Chain A
Amino acid sequence: MDFQISDLSLLAPHMVVTGTALLVLLVEAFRPGKGRSDATYLSILGLLVAAGLTLKQFGAPASTGFAGMLIADGYAAFFNMVAYVVGILTLLVSDSYFRSEEYEHGEFHALMLMSLVGMMLMSGSNHLMLMFLALETMSISIYAMAGYMRTKEGTESSFKYFLLGGASSAFMLYGIALLYASCGTTSLTGMVEYFSTLPSLSDSPMALAGIALVAAGFCFKIAAFPFHVWTPDVYQGAPTSVTAFMATGVKAAAFAAFFRIFVVAFPIASGAWTSAFWVLAVATMTMGNFAALAQRDVKRMLAYSSIAHAGYLLIGMVTATSEAGTGMLFYLISYVFMNIGAFGIVIMLGKKGEDRTTLEDYAGVGFKKPLLGAALTIFMFSMAGIPPTAGFIGKFLIFKAAVHEGYIWLAVLGVLNSAASVYYYLRVLVYMYFRESESESGDVIRTSPLSILAAAISVIAILVLGIAPGYLVQIAEAATAAF
């Protein structure tokens, strides 16, 4: 494999984030201590530097390095930015959480940064092996993060995620092996070349099975039906800030790689996988929404709602045009803001050792904490897809792309689903504003300036993206123009 020093420039942002992770560990080793946020500030600084480096990739021509394994294009740059946003927001919302739990250690920050590096590599991988390694880099850090608090629930959550994640990785790896066996390569470019020599893929059932298994691996990470079963348990058991990180970062990175690989490498089989994803999208949306309807715990409700969001995003996978890609990119970034924002509020409404996440715990919060209530209202409206929030634009773009390609029924089912979802999002507001407050609800809250900053950033982003989405749509369109 030939390697040039200049290739390293493609890795500059990744190296900055990795370096920050190591630095955080060093600082932690020399200055262990509670009540300070050194690690948080240092990590945010590192992510901002990386963001500065990534900015230069926008608009620059796509370049590949490391024998074509890694690609740096607008698409990867976009998802790197998503990763930074996820990272910074998670750090901000974690602050008050770990502070109140008196569990402030830099290891958490280091693990999260490592996981981010995995996510960044996933969106830039032009090769199935790199993608797989990146996916594991991301996942292994998260397994550790989920069990970070060493509570019974956390450990259970971590262990479940680890076992099932391992199983799904095995599926994916087997799929990659089958693809290698039929194509003789696992580079996306190489596979496209091989497929172009085939008249049709039905001659190569091995490759088809490989494609299906790779899809199964991704479906696990994005929590699509019926690969979603772990989600509620794992999301509920993990520390809430880790849940926020998993629900957004993993989903974004998995969709990034999912879309690139299927649209770039497997268009020849699109007839096969679009119909499969059609079924998955409908089942995932419906399952997620209806199960969320039945929940009385806000954290669990958000877990099922994240499944439903994966279903809407799968509509983009079915459509598989660059227009759909634009919609998915926009949807994912708005999803990051509204989801971490919502989980941030969930964190703030808990207290030490007790998460207080049942609907009853939210009774009357809207009056006791009007600003928190207003912020959560905006997040819920955005998730339900009501204008003028970012959530509406995201759904609009995805459904529009689907209709454009003639998937009218899929859009109809999507819109129906989002209409049904209003009910459970609104139920939170009904408890917040219309129920007499229980003795304790909303009294003791854990806030810190940083977590309030996270909520403020998310609210502003959701409204700005909802009212003036033009600029971001342009960027997203440029990022997916190549597909």
Chain B
Amino acid sequence: MLEYIWLIPFLPMVGAIINGLLNRRLSHAVVNTIACGSIFLSFLLSVGAFFALTRLEPAARFHEVNLFTWIAAGSTEITLGYLMDPLSAVMCLVVTGVGFLIHVYSVGYMHHDDGYARFFTYLNLFCFAMLTLVLGNSFLVLFVGWEGVGLCSYLLIGFWFSDMEKATAGMKAFVVNRIGDFGFLIAMFLIFQNFGTLNFREVMNAAPEVLIYGGFTVTAICVLLFVGATGKSAQIPLYVWLPDAMAGPTPVSALIHAATMVTAGVYMIGRCNIIFSMAPTAMATVATVGALTALFAGTIAVTQNDIKKVLAYSTVSQLGYMFISMGVGAYVAGIFHLMTHAFFKACLFLGSGSVIHGMHEEQDMRYMGNLRKYMPHTFITFLVATIAISGLPPLAGFFSKDEILWMAWSNGFKFQWALGFIAAGITAFYMFRLVFMTFYGKERINPEVHPHESPATMTVPLYILAGLSIVGGFVGIPAALGGLNHFHHWLAPVLDASSAHEAVKHAAMMVGDGGLAVTSALASGAEHAAAAGHAAAAGHHDLTEYVLMAASVGYAIFGIAVAFFLYNRRPEIPAKVADSAKGLYNLLYNKYYVDEIYGAVFVQGCVNLAVYLWKFWDVVVVDGFVNGLAKVVAMAGSVLARFQSGNVQAYAVSIMVGAVALIFLVAAF
């Protein structure tokens, strides 16, 4: 079974090739059978691989398949292959499972679109790239998938071409991601330089010997990898592309910008957890950036009126939670939240797509209201997913989010915990604000629009995802609630929490010596981590855990209550509040003006610098020089005067300057 894992990514690729080449010659039925069929087969294979792994000893649960030797020549030998282990298995199941549901949903959603086959081609191609990313056995394969998903997302965002807004969004996504990739590439070079290999298992096994704990190299590698993650997973400061990317078709938002691609950064850190655990400064950075993003994006979501924009900022915020988790060393909790988030966020996005579909492309919630009357199926599934993301027990979001916050607290990252905790209530507030504005209250629908429920190919996936949002958390019920936490045991061989604890403990010693400048949060955290480690080992549970659990549930209910009051009972109040706190409201509504600031500083700055550099040398220095000379030359009746831009002399001067500079550079040595 495990021999065939290469088929998991290749089946969608075959689907993409067939649909891509035959394109318009195929009927819709054939196109969607190929597209959905290929990804469904991948899902079955992933399930098979999962069970094949369960039959192995926990320590032996990995299987590497070398596909081919990419570069093999003396000094360099790079083989490409796939690696199936518990972490990859989880990711494969999420990508193929949720991916399949979204494919099915798209059959209904894209029905009327001209580019039907093209859409499914890109969607399948994306699945191929994403599965390559999660199955790759080395940094290089991961990077190929990493670039591939970026490319597909670029293609899919700009799916309805000829629309300048979408083109700009796609372009922005691509350029911002390249900035992130820059970090990733440099990290990859550093890893290659230090390890002489890019294979995950080899690097991770050798890491304790090759790298020095908390040393400059390991910190640099981890920070640079994290720069890559901030690009792909939309964290501060590179999150700006994700909300704009919502310009694409809604199934794309669900698949790429909620469930799969954007979690690639989280997966990558999980994959590299051993080296991350060796770099406490980098870990503290990850946790802090994640916490800031969680809160920052959450506050923006509060004021948005576009249904997809709310969900987009909510995604950024939830990704922030995953990074908090990674940063505090709770890798399993991060992956757990990744999975549950894939369920409920895909459900929310697809639900919003169903609303938009039924509302004839209306996305502004101010022109909705009382839609539960027209779209009962969409409403009920959306509500379930909203409860899940708000963190109410016993739905999936409760278990995963609570585990993250608890791990942050118990590992001593109090500051990050506080930010995450505040954001949790805000999440419940803006999500229920969305529900009340869309599905309850007075109808504010444009009279020309006649809302209708979506077809079964769209609602059935919604029900399945809603079901997963309910039960998805049960695999990871913490021991504190009497659960067995299967999820934790399953991932333990890859994301061994004890080594993380060791690392954090180690950090405590280092900080105690004053040898390392880490945040104070980490310092206090280390002691707690040690304590928590002991506590877990002893099998008894801190009262704090229950208190915090109760607090976050209470806080979420409070958020929901406020939303209920403001957007259902007294819908006139929000406008008044916005009016009386105009400054704050505008700041949030305009997303802290970050886009504008980036535009002015980086984009315009870069363009100005480019023009300046170009003009400075090629125009001012070189051409300008000629303005003086040209007259002389013209008077001399030189043959050169025939040329309107007779800058040859100036060019010669540039070459002369270069030659003199070279002599100086070489001889000065």
Residues of A whose CB lies within 8 Å of any CB of B are: 156, 159-160, 163-164, 167-168, 171, 202, 205, 208-209, 211-213, 215-216, 219-220, 225-227, 229-230, 232-233, 269, 271-273, 275-276, 279-280, 286-287, 290-291, 293-294, 323, 326, 366-367, 386-388, 393, 397, 399-400, 403-404, 408, 411-412, 415-416, 419-420, 422-423, 426, 430, 433-436, 468-470, 473-474, 476-478, 481
Contact = CB atoms under 8 A, between A and B. Distances in A.
Interface in B652-669: 652, 654-659, 661-663, 665-667, 669
Contacts of A430: 167, 171
Nearest to B652: A167
B167 A426 contact: no
A212 B614 contact: no
Given A226-B654, A226-B655, A233-B645, A419 B76 contact: no
B663 A434 contact: no
A62 to B, nearest CB: 18
B174 interface: yes
A419 B186 contact: no
Given A272-B667, A387-B144, A477-B75, A156 B643 contact: yes
Contact of B193 (A387, A403, A422): A403
Given A229-B622, A426-B174, A430-B167, 16 more contacts: A160-B643, A167-B652, A272-B665, A290-B610, A323-B75, A367-B161, A397-B76, A399-B189, A400-B189, A400-B192, A419-B181, A426-B171, A434-B161, A434-B163, A468-B68, A470-B73
B174 A422 contact: yes
Given A386-B151, A430-B171, A209 B655 contact: no
Nearest to A467: B70
Contact of A276 (B617, B643, B662): B662
Contacts of B514: none
A386 B651 contact: no
A387 B142 CA distance: 11
A434 B666 contact: no
Interface string B170-185: 1100110011011001
A388 B610 CA distance: 29
Nearest to A322: B75
Nearest to A220: B655
Contacts of B463: none
B143 A226 contact: no
Contact of A290 (B175, B609, B658, B667): B609
Interface string B640-654: 000101011011101
Contact of B606 (A275, A293, A411, A435): A293
A238 B191 CA distance: 45
Given A168-B655, A212-B663, A422-B175, A477 B166 contact: no
Given A412-B186, A420-B606, A469-B71, A275 B174 contact: no
A276 B665 contact: yes
Residue among B68, B76, B181 with the highest chain A CB neighbour number at 10 A: B76
A271 B144 contact: no
Given A216-B655, A276-B666, A436-B162, A387 B143 contact: yes
B443 interface: no
Nearest to B657: A226
B665 A387 contact: no
Contacts of A388: 144, 148
B627 interface: no
Contacts of B166: 434
B498 interface: no
Q: A-B pairs with the 5 shortest C-beta distances?
A: A434-B167, A272-B669, A276-B665, A293-B610, A291-B614
Contacts of B661: 226
A88 B397 CA distance: 62
B158 interface: yes
B604 to A, nearest CB: 12
14 contacts: A164-B652, A171-B659, A227-B655, A229-B650, A233-B647, A276-B662, A290-B609, A291-B610, A291-B618, A293-B610, A400-B189, A416-B182, A434-B164, A468-B70
Given A226-B657, A269-B666, A291 B613 contact: yes
Given A423-B175, A436-B162, A386 B147 contact: yes
B54 interface: no
A222 B658 CA distance: 13
Contacts of B609: 290
A403 B189 contact: yes
B658 A279 contact: no
B651 A230 contact: yes
Given A171-B659, A387-B147, A419-B179, A477 B74 contact: yes
B662 A219 contact: yes
B69 interface: yes
Contacts of B189: 399-400, 403, 408, 411, 415
A26 to B, nearest CB: 35
A433 B182 contact: no
A403 B192 contact: yes
Contacts of B162: 434-436
B578 interface: no
A149 B41 CA distance: 59
Contacts of B69: 470
Q: Which of A168, A220, A419 gathers most chain B CB within 10 Å?
A: A419
